[in-house]
Structure 1
Amino acid sequence: MATRRSLETVMNKAMQNPRRSTLAIAVLLLAGSQAAWAQGREAGNSEAYPDKTIRIIAPSSPGGGIDVLARFLGAKLTESWGKTVVVDNRPGAGGIIGTSAVAQASPDGYTLLLIAGGYTLNPSLYKKLPYDTMNDFERISLLACAPNMLVVHASIPVKSVGELVAYARSRPDGLTFGSSGIGTTSYLSAMLFQQRAKLQMVHVPYKGAGLSNKAMLAGEVNMLFSAPHEMVPYAREGRVKPLAVTSSQRLPLVADVPTLAEAGFPGFEVNTCYGMLAPAKTPTAIIEKLSRKLADILETPDVRKQLESLSFTLIGSTPQAFTDWARKDLARWSTELREAGIQPE
């Protein structure tokens, strides 16, 4: 389609020659009708949306925070719009596999991506990604944030972070720590903890939080940073020991568990933030419709009660606010990981 500037140039040249004036007017009318048609088509698509099944790709294994939030919101969207919303788990590579799949999907609003910390962490952890973090996606809404909780297997003879550090230093081979994979906040929390505590530990990555949690319970790893709501039931059963949370304040869910800052690591704070994305070039009207609907769902009293009981801090931002946050978080982790000596692979 001709640009506004090129159309003005054509008009000016044509008007200098009366024979060309009719052509100039025809060009302008055609361009105007094309623009109006495109705008009308987008508005029409938005009004009809959704008219078929929506797929939310969760780039993690079943059972983790991404999966829980994707299924919860998917059920609410289905309930609200009367159209089926399915969750498609695509774990692996710290979320890169699932994220890449959405980057290549059709930009029609029927393939969405629920991301967590890896979205803004991976550009600082990997030298090359199969997608452009900002340009290959439309940001719909920053949904919620939640901290991690440091737990150790019940067999580890410690009751505090200080005892854990001393115990780790006494073992020549060090301790093992599990994670949801490189590029996740469970990995980042452990790496920053290791660096701050001056420890040497062995990393055992898994394809998502569901699998790393199972490994923790089975005693395959000694310690793990995981979502609090996922570990609390097992702590009550005595299968794991919660030692600290990565938030700046204690959590109501585990009020007797100190923050890492209280446990001797001032300024230590890592949160997992979750957001909804769509492929680049998804119509703006559809992005805005999704964003408004998600914000409405998160404002519902019963939804707030359920998710806040799981230690989620709900947000429900606009697309622009999500984009602004993403740019700042990308810059933040680039600086913090470089200062911590964590090099991209």
Structure 2
Amino acid sequence: MKIAIDAMGGDFAPDAIVEGVAMAAKSGLPEGVTLVLIGNQPVIEALLAKYETPANSPITVFHADEVIGMGEHPTKALSQKPNSSIGIGFKLLKEKQVQAFCSAGNTGAMHVGALFSVKAIEGVMRPCIAGFVPQLAGGYAVMLDIGANADCKPEVLAQFGELGSIYAQYTFQLDSPRVALMNIGEEEQKGSLVAQAAHQLLKENRRINFIGNIEGKDMFTNKADVIVTDGFTGNALFKLGESFYNVARTRDIQDDFIAKTNYESVGGSPIVGVNGNVIIAHGISSALAIKNMINLAIRQVESDAYTKIAQALS
């Protein structure tokens, strides 16, 4: 298994990225896992030495001449900078030289790169970004979309329910994941016209375990394993949840559940619905976040969720 990491993407790259890779290597990687760092080779090698990466660590470096900046236009940047760390990462993923590609760089470039390289799974209307929502009784629910598709038609939301169900089944080892629609009330007739129509489509889908609507207050209470919403609402809710950790820290509050709302605890979000394993991390990612992003990527490759989605939709 080879996990590719964009060493040049992120607000604190390449230092935080390489430090996170070094942390992952020191903590012990599963047998057979190799980490492929993509970026400026001399800089990366100097940082690996700085962070005292063990000489026998399963880490290789793939040189990239260019970097896509955080503020660059995604499509233009990918076409104008094919030798960027993101461009090369997707080339390696498309050619199956690596089994996953991760970056804390330009989110738009990561999403566009996934769509134009490994492409959407046949039958998927809109690939989406999934977020992991901690639950009070333990574990996580997967929420999708959390930012890729701000406006969604009912049939897109309904498909998110199916994509999330398959993803949760193989990633969390759940026989029948509970799928819920985020809404402004539990009643079937509540919400916008889009939400009402999506509810009916989810309700009619016999391939999923749809439990109905949930409200914002239910997000952390173990009511659902899969939370369906559009990217605008999902992004707002997800970032609100992430803010709890910073608020608690300013008040010197220590709590195990609130610690899980810290973005570093999972480290990244997968793009669900494409033909490959693509993980997007926060631009502000620290070394710890990168270490956990690598662990997430390994689990995702092991789950083989994207091929299970392709099989289900074929």
Between Structure 1 and Structure 2, which shows a larger proportion of helix residues?
1
TM-score, normalised to structure 1, is 0.25
TM-score, normalised to structure 2, is 0.26
